[in-house]
Each structure stands twice: as structure tokens, then as C-alpha cells.
Amino acid sequence: MISKPNVLDRETQVLMTTVTFLGLVPLTTILPSWIMILSFFCLALKSSHLRFSWSLPHPWLTFSLSLLSAGYFFFSEKDFFRIETLATLLALAGSLNLLRPNRYHHAVLAIFSAVFFLMLHLLESRTKLSIVLMFADLVLILSLISHLHIRDPKLRGLGNVLPSLKLLLTAIPMWLFMAVLFPRVTAFFTIAPSPPGFEGFGGYAESGFSDEIRPGSIAELTLSDEIAFRAWFAKDHPPPSLANMYWRGSVLSIGNGLVWTRSPKLERNQIAIEHLAKEWSYRVQLAPAPSQMGFSPLFLLEHSHSPLLSPPSAAATVRAFQGATFQFSSEKGQDVRYSASVFPDSEIETLDEKTKTGYSRLPANLDQRVKKLAEQIAKTPLPPAFSNLSPAEQTAQRILNWLSDNGFRYSLSSPPLEARDGVGQLSEFLFTTKIGFCEHYSAAFATLMRASGIPARIVIGYQGAALADDGETWVVRQIDSHAWTEIWIQESSGKNNTAGRWARIDPTDVVAPLRLQVGGVFNRLSPWLIAALQGLSSDEARKQISNSWVGKWNGWLMTANLAHTKWEDFAAREQAEFAILKQVRLWHKEFTSTAMPLAALLAGALAIISIALTVRWKNSHRLEQMDLAIWRTFCAQIEKQGFARKPNEGPLDFSRRAARHFPQNSSLICQIGELFAEIHYANLSASERALRTRQLDQLVRQIQRSPSRERISTSTNS
């Protein structure tokens, strides 16, 4: 191609070396030391080649060096699925690349390895210095790129950094535009939420549960397509219906109107986890979400006081609390995988009087209207069908009826509430706006239950899931975030009876039954589609939704995600036991005793041959280069006097012309031209050639030293 240079010029090589150096330096902390030593050795060789015209090692030496280091890398690396491994390989390729002949594709390799070095560095460190380094590196990389492709001498040269800087600055508006726009449709390849302190950087939506809800907090979560976790059900344990798929996360027991928080007091008692021996009803892969004290909620299906859990992995710790919440933390924020079995018909437990009071506490400044409302609701009659329910359940039913009869509406975008505190917001929601999301309804419902004297609490987690194409992976996304309530149902009406059970009541069911039947995707449907779905059975509704574009988009997301899951599964399995590598290591161990000396011998022989080749090649190479270098010095010398060689002029023509132009030095100039032509074009033996080259060198030095040099300049001036 026209634009591609065949051989790179010196400036391009300088840029290549600088860019590689700048990329490698910040990686010193994550790369193995032998790689660093090798890389800097290569860099030093290249720099001395550029600075002092030392020749590079013989291609065979470079080749055997690559072979040896690749072999060593293969045997020494224990884990092939880490970023550090990629970095090691890249560093190896990038630095050995410098020792190779300088062709276009070597420069391309240098460009891309520099870009990836930069990326690896940014994955490791997030300091202000990294950003500065990134800009500096980008400017140099751009210079290298334009250097490779621009022929105009005025735009080349090291001053070329300025256009690159300009280009980079012009790119900023477009970059900002993309950085703001893009995250809204991305982040579906991940299950890891942003690390703490980095939410919102670059326009990212905050994700993950915190330990409280307030109006809008869950609605905001449902804006994200991000994956929360994945689950697989055991073959003999069919998954519950979608409408009953509640993934419990945290329990919030301190109610303050619409704002609910966790109660450290009620969750104080840590309880023992019963470990699952073999059977499991489902398996979950979960990434930690940022949370207090480094612990994240562990999501379990249904409420169960004592689920059976298998330990997720050695790196993770799990703790369970009274109130049936589970938390885990893992090293380095890795994903955890755990299996669990739960018993949907929650078992009987006991609640002492103190705890019961804790679960019935109302905020001190609760609006009197809310208390009156609770009393008023308690008096409303119930249809006879509900007469066999426990008193607590009857109260719950009355409140649900009241909600459905009083024009409450479900909406993701509820009108902003004017009150600043949760209590005021509750009154505003109940008596004025009447539009809310699951957090509004669960908070209002739990508060009304407590006002009626029944212990109640809010549970946050996820409701629903989407089945991926493979038919077995259930994907739970942030879009499925949900809040619901649990009420305490006493076993018998006896005064001192502490036995009872927690029952799940979801007030959202009253205002948006479809939300529970179709899952979180409901929150993305257009109002007219929702209207069209009214009155359909849940199966039909689901079918309709999967035909809509929202459903198609979701399907695509699932497919893309499934591929990712498969890869992660593979990587996780292989990470534990990389079969091929294990085999190789076995051989390695077996043969070490006999093969080691042999390998050492072979490597030694290879090294000696390569060095011998290099020395020979270096000598011949140096001589070849030498005469040309001397000739170029001479031409430059003449050119400084304002007499340039024409591109089509051979050495003889040029020296003759120059001799005519500088009569004082004519014989010397002619001699140099003839000598160079002889060395360069005649077929001389090596010794003769060395002799002539030395002569040429002397002649050129003579012309540099000669007093007639001044005369040369005067003759051009006159």
C-alpha cells in the first residue's frame, strides 16, 4: 500500500520505544520480576541501538529468547485466567517486538500493546497520576500513529506531538457525549456493581442495595439492566412460579414513615448456619454489592429461619442473623457461588416480647391521621370468606382492601413528595398523592400494620427472574428489585404464647398484580401495553410482552448474558483444575530429574550458537552500515554548506558536482565519492572492505578538520 512505509525511520522507532517504556513502567507492580528484567533489557538494547547505533541481537537470538521465555511463562504460570497473565504475555510480546526488524506491522504491534498496557494499568490503579499518565501516553501513541502514516516532513518530526495533542483535545467533547450516553445501554455484561466511591463516575447509575429504603430508592435501581445474580434450580426441585419467586435480601425493621432502615439491635444475634450436605434445591452465583462493613446481603428464596446453605467458597465468609438475613463477604470482591435449600412453608419460630415490641415500634412523631386511619380500617367489615383467617391476617386484608378501594396507583415515576422527613412523606403519600412504587406501598402497609398492633417488617430483595435461552439459568437483574412486607402471625391467641411465624404479604399485588406475574420487566412497559395486558392471564401477558420490543431487547440481553455465563463457568472450573496444565505439570515433575540437565545443555548450546551468530552478523552488519553512515555524514557536511545532493544523484555524480562547487577541496571530495562507490558497489572481500572503510572514514574526518572548511563556506557565500 502507498501509505505504509516498508522500513521504519529512526523517529518512529524512538516513539515506539518511548511508548513501550511508558506503558511498561506502571506495570512493574503487577508483572513478575523476570518479565520486568527481560523487558527493560530489551528496552535498553533498543535504546542503545538508537542512540549509539549498536546493532540489535541476531534474529536467532531474539527468537530463542522468545521461545525460552514463552516456555518459562507456560510452566511458571499457575492461573491462566487472570489479568496479570494477559499483562505478562503482552509485556513479553511488546518488549521482544522492539528487537525485531522494523517493519510496519511491528509498529502496529507496538501501538496496540501500548494501548493495552495502558488499559491494564488503569484496571489496577485509579489515582490522579493514572489519568495524567493516560493522557501523556495517548498523546505519544497518537504521535506514533500519525508518524507511521504521514509523509509530509513538516508534520513529522518530534514536534508532531502538538497535532496529536490538538486531536486529543478536539476529541474531548465527543468523548464526554459518549461517556454520558453510553452507560445507559451498557453494563449488561457484568454482575459486579461499581466499586464504592466510584458510583456515578462517568455517568454510571448507582447499583446495589443499601441498608435503607426511601421514596425512589428502589425505583432508581430498577432503571438498570445490570445483572444481580444467576440461579439454577435442581432438576428434582422445580422453581416456584414467577409470581412467587421472592429473593430475600435484607430486612428493614426500623420504620420512620416512608423511610425504613435495618435495625442492628434486632439483628444482633448471630445464628449458626446449617450446612447443606449434598442436596440443594437451587444454586446461585452472586457478586458482592457494596455494603457496610464489607458484607453484602445473600439472597435466598422465601423466608426461612434455617435454610440449609453450602459454604460458598473458601474465600467467602457467610453469617446469618436473627431475623433470617444472611450476609457474606468475599476476598477481593470475587463472586460467590452457593447452594441452598429452603422450606417455603416457613416454620414455626418464637419471638420474645422484647423483640416483638421492636417489630411493632412506631415513629414517635407519627401523624395522628395515620393512627386514626388504622383504627378506621380496623372497623371496616370483611367478607365472610376471610373469617377463618387469623386476626393478623384479617387486619392485613382490611388494609389491602382499603388500598385497592381508595384510588392508589402504581408508578415508577411517582410525583416528588414535598415533606423532608419520612413521616411527613408517608402522610403525603397516603392522603394526597396516592401514587407510588413498591417501596411506598410496603412502607405504608408495614406502618399501618404496626399502628394496628401487629409486628411487621419490610424485606428488600428481588422479585421475579428471567429464564435464559438455555432453559435452566434464571437471571435476576436490578430491574427485578422489589420491597415487600412480612407480618408476624401468632400461633394461638394465648397471652404468653411466643410461637408464631412470619408471613409474606406483598401490598404491591393490590395495585399492580401484573408486576408480580411478569417480573421486573413490567417496569419497562409502555402505559398502552400495560393497558392492553389488563385482564389477560399471566401466561398470555408474558407472551405479549416477549413479542413487544421491550421483550425482544430483554431476550437479546439474556442470550448475550448466557454466553458470558458459560464462559465464566468454564473459567471458574478451569481455574480450579486446568486439566491440560495439570497433566503437563505432572510430566514436568516426572521428567525434571532426567530432563533438566538435558534442557540446560540444550539451552546453553542454543545460547552459544546464537551469540556466535550474533557476533558474526554484527561484524558484517556493522561494516555494511559503517560505509553508509560515513557517507551520510559526509553528505550532511556538504549539505550544511548549502549544497544538497539530489535524490537521483549517485555518489560519483554528486562528488564531481561538489568538487566543482568547492574547488579548494575538489580532490578530496572526488576521492571520497570514488572510494565510497567502490566500497558500496564493488564486490570486495571483507578485509579489503574494512580497510577501504577506514580510509573513507579518515578522508571524511580530514574534510571535517581541514582549515579549508572555512573556505568552503566563504566560497558559497560569495
Least distance CB 571 / another protein (angstroms) = 12
The interaxial angle of helices 33-52 and 83-97, nearest 10 deg, is 20
Least distance CB 187 / another protein (angstroms) = 5
Q: What is the DSSP string of 454-517?
A: --EEEEEEEE--EE-TTSSEEEEEGGGEEEEEEEEEESS--TT--EEEEEEE-THHHH-HHHHH
Q: What is the DSSP string of 542-570?
A: HHHHHHSHHHHHHHHHHHHHHHHHHHHHH
Question: Using CB under 8 A, which of the segments 62-70, 124-132, 530-538, 608-616 binds another protein?
Answer: 124-132
- Residue by residue, what is the 3-state secondary structure of 324-389? CEEEEEEHHHCCEEEEEECCCCCCCEECCHHHHHHHHCCCCCCCHHHHHHHHHHHHCCCCHHHCCC
Least distance CB 688 / another protein (angstroms) = 36
The answer to whether the Cα torsion of 388, 389, 395, 399 is positive or negative is negative
Q: By CB under 8 A, is residue 322 in contact with another protein? A: no
Which of 64, 73, 81, 163 touches another protein (CB under 8 A)?
Answer: 163
Do the beta carbons of residue 423 and residue 365 sit within 8 Å?
yes
Beta strands at 308-309 and 274-275: parallel, antiparallel or unpaired: parallel
**Helix, strand, coil proportions of the chain in percent (round to 5)?**
55, 15, 30
The interaxial angle of helices 104-124 and 10-24, nearest 10 deg, is 20
Which of 52, 153, 494, 495 touches another protein (CB under 8 A)?
Answer: 153
Least distance CB 130 / another protein (angstroms) = 6
- Interatomic CA distance for residues 450 and 480, integer angstroms: 27
- Interatomic CA distance for residues 22 and 137, integer angstroms: 7
Q: By CB under 8 A, is residue 567 in contact with another protein? A: no
Q: By CB under 8 A, is residue 64 in contact with another protein? A: no
Which of 29, 33, 152, 413 touches another protein (CB under 8 A)?
Answer: 152
Question: Using CB under 8 A, which of the segments 149-157, 233-241, 252-260, 710-718 binds another protein?
Answer: 149-157
- Interatomic CA distance for residues 209 and 296, integer angstroms: 9
Name which of 194 and 217 has its Cβ closer to another protein: 194
Binding to another protein in span 198-257, by CB under 8 A: 198, 201-202, 204
Identify which of 704, 688, 694 has the alpha carbon closest to the alpha carbon of residue 627.
694
Which of 43, 91, 148, 675 touches another protein (CB under 8 A)?
Answer: 148
Least distance CB 104 / another protein (angstroms) = 9
Q: By CB under 8 A, is residue 652 in contact with another protein? A: no
Which of 41, 74, 75, 175 touches another protein (CB under 8 A)?
Answer: 175
Q: Which residues pair with 349 in a beta bridge?
A: 500
Cβ-Cβ contacts under 8 Å for 513 (sequence gap 6 or more): none
Least distance CB 663 / another protein (angstroms) = 18
Name which of 182 and 681 has its Cβ closer to another protein: 182
* Integer CA distances (angstroms), 34 to 31, 73, 76, 505, 628, in order: 8, 10, 11, 62, 38
Do the beta carbons of residue 703 and residue 638 sit within 8 Å?
no
Q: By CB under 8 A, is residue 150 in contact with another protein? A: yes
- Interatomic CA distance for residues 520 and 528, integer angstroms: 17
Identify which of 246, 230, 389 has the alpha carbon closest to the alpha carbon of residue 304.
246
Least distance CB 203 / another protein (angstroms) = 9
Q: What is the DSSP string of 637-657?
A: HHHHTT-PPPTT--HHHHHHH
Q: By CB under 8 A, is residue 115 in contact with another protein? A: yes
Name which of 91 and 287 has its Cβ closer to another protein: 287
- Interatomic CA distance for residues 718 and 661, integer angstroms: 12
Question: Using CB under 8 A, which of the segments 191-199, 350-358, 400-408, 586-594 binds another protein?
Answer: 191-199
- Interatomic CA distance for residues 157 and 147, integer angstroms: 8
Q: By CB under 8 A, is residue 169 in contact with another protein? A: no
Name which of 60 and 112 has its Cβ closer to another protein: 112
Least distance CB 317 / another protein (angstroms) = 23
Binding mask 3-42 for another protein (x = CB under 8 A): x---------------------------------------
Name which of 115 and 529 has its Cβ closer to another protein: 115
- Interatomic CA distance for residues 480 and 464, integer angstroms: 6
Question: Using CB under 8 A, which of the segments 144-152, 256-264, 317-325, 492-500 binds another protein?
Answer: 144-152
Q: Return the C-alpha cell found at 209.
A: 442495595
Question: Using CB under 8 A, which of the segments 29-37, 121-129, 230-238, 264-272 binds another protein?
Answer: 121-129
Least distance CB 150 / another protein (angstroms) = 7
Least distance CB 286 / another protein (angstroms) = 15
- Termini Cα distance of the chain: 46
Name which of 121 and 303 has its Cβ closer to another protein: 121
Q: By CB under 8 A, is residue 570 in contact with another protein? A: no
Cβ-Cβ contacts under 8 Å for 388 (sequence gap 6 or more): none
Name which of 202 and 344 has its Cβ closer to another protein: 202
Which of 70, 89, 122, 611 touches another protein (CB under 8 A)?
Answer: 122
Least distance CB 262 / another protein (angstroms) = 25
- Interatomic CA distance for residues 555 and 557, integer angstroms: 5
Which of 130, 313, 546, 695 touches another protein (CB under 8 A)?
Answer: 130
Name which of 423 and 557 has its Cβ closer to another protein: 557
Number of residues that bind another protein (CB under 8 A): 51
Q: By CB under 8 A, is residue 149 in contact with another protein? A: yes
Cβ-Cβ contacts under 8 Å for 696 (sequence gap 6 or more): 627, 630, 631, 672, 675, 676, 679
Which of 194, 250, 341, 485 touches another protein (CB under 8 A)?
Answer: 194
Beta strands at 481-490 and 246-252: parallel, antiparallel or unpaired: unpaired
Least distance CB 683 / another protein (angstroms) = 29
Contact residues for another protein (CB under 8 A)?
2-3, 108, 112, 115-116, 118-119, 122-123, 126, 130-131, 134, 138, 142, 145-146, 148-155, 163, 167-168, 170-172, 174-175, 178-179, 182-183, 186-190, 192-195, 198, 201-202, 204
